[in-house]
Structure formats: C-alpha cells, structure tokens
Amino acid sequence: MAATEPVDIVELGVGDAQAGLVLSTEAGWNQNEADWRFFLSKGIVFGMRDGARLVATAALLPYSAANAWISMVLVTADFRRRGIARRLVDACLGVATRRGLTTWLDATPAGTSVYGPLGFTPTLQLRRLRLPKPPEAKATRQLSAGNIEALVVRDAGAMGFDRSTLLSEFAARSGSHVVSCAQAMALIRDGRTARHIGPVLADRPDQALALVDAVVGTEPGSWLIDAVHSQDEFLNGLIRSGWNIERPFQRMRFGRATMLSAELPFAVAGPEFG
C-alpha cells in the first residue's frame, strides 16, 4: 500500500474480536478475546483496514450519567505516524459530542502530548505494576468471597458513575472472582499475559495492601495492577512487596465533570476501562 493511499474508517462488529486481539497482542497489551468482545458488543469500535487486514482501532465505551471511555487506540507498526490514531479518536469524540457524553481516557506519556491539544485535561495519574511469578503460592491472609452488588455500589462512589454492566460481565467470566478482606474489596480477572487485580477499594492503605497480598498468595502466576499514584502509601507498599512499575498513565477528561466521586480507589479496573 502506498503511504498516501487513503484508508476509510469503518465501524467494527463482534466478528472482529480476533483481528482486534492481533493488534493488542502486537502492542504487548494484556487484553484477551473476552475484552474485545465486550468492547465490540457494548461499545462503538472504529477501525481501518488494509484490504481484509485490520490495521487500526479506537473504541468508545459508554457508561452511565453521560460518561464514556475512549481506549483501544491501536495502530499496527507499518501504518503508524500517518495521523490514523488521531482520526480514529476524532471519530470517537464525534459520536460522544453528538450524544452529549463526557469522555475519559488513560493516556501513556506519548498519548498525553496528543490528547492535550485535542482539549483533554489531566486528572489523576496511574502506575501499572507487575508482580512476576512468585516461587510458590502461599496464602498469608484470609480472603472471603465478595459481593458483586456491593462492589458495583462502591465503584460507583469512586468513579462518580455506575459501571454495573462492565463489572457484572467481568465477574461472570470463568476465572474471575470478587474478593474481600476486612474493609477492602477487589475484582480479579484473567488477561492475556497476566491476572489483573482491580478495581481495589478500601477504607485505608493497609487494608488494600492486605487484600492484594492475600490475592497473590492464592495462586502462582504473573499479576498486574493499575494503582492510583496519589495513593502513595499503597503504591510504595506494593513496591516493597516486589511489584515493579512498568509504565505510567495519565487520566484525562474531555468535557465537564458530571459527578463528584465519594472516594479515591487504590487501583482501577484498567486503563482501557477506567
């Protein structure tokens, strides 16, 4: 394909889940096919093709109270630096504007310089951490089965809007669990390369750390968590426990804030979901 040849934007469907997974796998991201099917069935996903090959995507995932999340902004290596990602994000913003939605995203440092000029303003910061496979699984604290309804309510307080559809779908997946430990609760789910912990909600940092410690003691394997940077006691506790920071994310908002959050989470559901 010539570098100047135009590529049309198309709206994707659930049948494109495998093609989307190829793109996110190329980028080294943790999404699995179930994640892609959720975006394609519950959100609006735009893409560009080179013939039959999907070469770029961007997703708009509506939530409640006129909020939506933009994510899965992916361009395969040989189509980058052509303005494709910007065009796809503009398509998402166009839909959001027509529907009167406030849009959010979690940007990498490179993405922050792109989204800022579009009118996105920074809010909180995140740090993605990975815990390599531990030598052996050994539970150190008692975990209890959590309640998805209670998690949904508390998550809504932290986000400022309801995400019951997302969290209920997560909880219903094979391998997913809602867990609690003292006054802390979290959702655990599978990813392509690692198990993911989040959101994590608690009254205090020590409660959040105790829950995470109990979770990773239940099974071997690699873990990911997206911690809120300003929760410094929690973040530093993870690092002392052997978690390694992989990359930062900057949460950004386009449009007015629709609701105030009642509490700050310790970790989020993931940069692709908020």
When mean pLDDT is compared across 6-10, 157-161, 258-262, the lowest value belongs to 258-262
Separation of alpha carbons 243 and 93, rounded Å? 35
Q: Strands (DSSP E) along the chain, which ranges?
A: 9-11, 44-50, 53-62, 67-75, 102-107, 121-131, 144-145, 177-181, 184-189, 195-201, 223-228, 244-254
* Residue whose pair of structure tokens reads 């779908």 in the numeric block: 169
Classify burial at 230, counting beta carbons within 10 Å of its beta carbon; exposed 0-12, middle 13-18, buried 19 or more: exposed
State both tokens at 231: 């929760």
- Residue 136 to residue 28: CA distance in whole angstroms: 26
Share of the chain above pLDDT 90, in %: 82
Q: Say if residue 219 is in the same domain as residue 189.
A: yes
Which domain CATH number covers 155?
3.40.630.90
Give tens-digit pLDDT for 191-229. 999 999 999 999 999 999 999 999 998 888 899 999 999
Asked if 95 and 163 sit in the same domain, the reply is no
Contact 45, 16 (CB under 8 A): yes
> Do both 184 and 91 map to the same domain?
no
Does this model's pTM top 0.85? yes
CA separation (Å) from 251 to 91, 140, 241, 261? 20, 33, 26, 15
Cα 254 from Cα 274, distance rounded (Å): 14
Domain that holds residue 66: 9-124
**Cα separation, 173 vs 85, whole angstroms:** 31
Residues 187 and 152 in one domain: yes
What are the tens digits of pLDDT across the range 110-169?
888 889 999 999 999 999 999 987 645 555 567 888 899 999 999 999 999 999 999 999
